[in-house]
């Protein structure tokens, strides 16, 4: 059994192909290749932490791809996930209405195939190193100025394993980006992440798509 980390699949999102220069002629080809690369890497005995932004577009359709992915899948929501605590519709109305909407959106993701949803950054141990799991890095963004600062983890000296920045970096300081655009489309095994933690904080550029 192996643990993997990944993020930012953006199933169903046409514009991500252009934005991140993904090598696909359309959404259908991208979705199929993401599923293929995942299932070539992960088995049903493995656990995969998905660090946000898994699906966009017509959500009822794009979320169906989650059920095609091998392994036990745990979600730390990102800013494009409807179940993210910072999602604008979930912050409107009275507390009871907000809670109903939140429960409904969370259930959509659970029904799609996620075993668990973790709202806040998760502290875990990888290869003997203490790390925080979050959609967001401590600092940096793929759009220039840092967004969603209030939802980013506080830097208390640990490494952060994250997504959000797409192909901006693979490792920058004590920040490791496990997004598919930095790792050739594949989930990243914990052993690989542990190796990066041991190496130190030298910046690393993204890998090419497989």
Q: Where are the domains of the chain?
A: 3-199
Query: Is pLDDT of 176 > 80?
Result: yes
3 pLDDT more than 70: yes
Residue 90 has a pLDDT of 61
**How many C-beta neighbours within 10 Å does residue 179 have?**
31
Reply yes or no on whether the pLDDT at 49 is more than 80.
Answer: yes
Continuous segment of H or E residues that includes residue 41 = helix 27-41
> What's the mean pLDDT in 5-11?
98
* Average pLDDT estimate for 31-50: 98
pLDDT at 193: 97
Q: Which of 42-56, 132-146, 183-197 has the lowest mean pLDDT?
A: 132-146
Average pLDDT, the chain: 92
The angle at the Cα of 90, spanning 106 to 14, to the nearest 5 degrees, equals: 75
pTM: 0.94
What are the phi and psi torsion angles at 126 (to 5°)? -125, 115
Residue 91 confidence (pLDDT):
67
- Each residue's pLDDT tens digit, 53-106: 999 988 999 999 999 999 999 999 999 999 998 877 666 667 777 778 888 989
Percentage of the chain exceeding pLDDT 90: 76
Per-residue pLDDT band at 108 (split at 50, 70, 90) = very high
Closest by alpha carbon to 160, among 189, 198, 131?
131
Q: Supply 104's token pair.
A: 């409904």
Q: What is the pLDDT of residue 44?
A: 96
Task: Please report the pLDDT score of residue 123 as a whole number.
Answer: 85
Give the pLDDT of residue 72.
98
CB 204, CB 52: distance < 8 Å? no
Note the pLDDT of residue 121. Answer: 79
C-alpha 59: how far from its chain's center? 16
The HSE-up count of residue 69 (CA atoms within 13 Å, CB side) is 33
| pLDDT > 70? residue 37 | yes
For 138-193, the DSSP string reads: SS--SSSS---GGGSPP-SSSEEEE-SSTTS-SEETTEEE-BGGGBTTS-EEHHHH
What dotted CATH number matches 3-199? 3.60.21.10
Task: Determine phi and psi for 15, rounding to 5 degrees.
Answer: -65, -20
């Amino acid at each position: 059994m192996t643990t993997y980390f990944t993020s930012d699949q953006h199933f169903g999102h046409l514009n991500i192909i252009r934005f991140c220069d993904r090598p696909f002629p359309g959404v259908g080809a991208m979705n199929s290749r993401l599923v293929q690369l995942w299932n070539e890497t992960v088995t049903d005995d493995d656990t995969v932490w998905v660090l946000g932004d898994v699906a966009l577009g017509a959500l009822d359709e794009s979320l169906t791809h989650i059920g095609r992915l091998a392994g036990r899948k745990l979600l730390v929501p990102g800013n494009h996930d409807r179940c993210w605590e910072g999602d604008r519709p979930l912050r409107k109305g009275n507390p009871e209405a907000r809670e109903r909407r939140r429960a409904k959106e969370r259930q959509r993701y659970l029904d799609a195939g996620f075993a668990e949803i973790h709202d806040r950054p998760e502290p875990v141990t990888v290869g003997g190193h203490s790390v925080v799991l979050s959609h967001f890095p401590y600092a940096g963004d793929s759009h220039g100025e840092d967004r969603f600062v209030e939802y980013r983890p506080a830097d208390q000296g640990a490494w952060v394993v994250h997504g959000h920045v797409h192909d901006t970096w693979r490792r920058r300081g004590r920040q490791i980006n496990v997004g598919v655009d930095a790792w050739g489309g594949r989930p990243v095994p914990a052993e690989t992440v542990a190796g990066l933690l041991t190496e130190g904080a030298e910046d690393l550029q993204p890998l090419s798509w497989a």
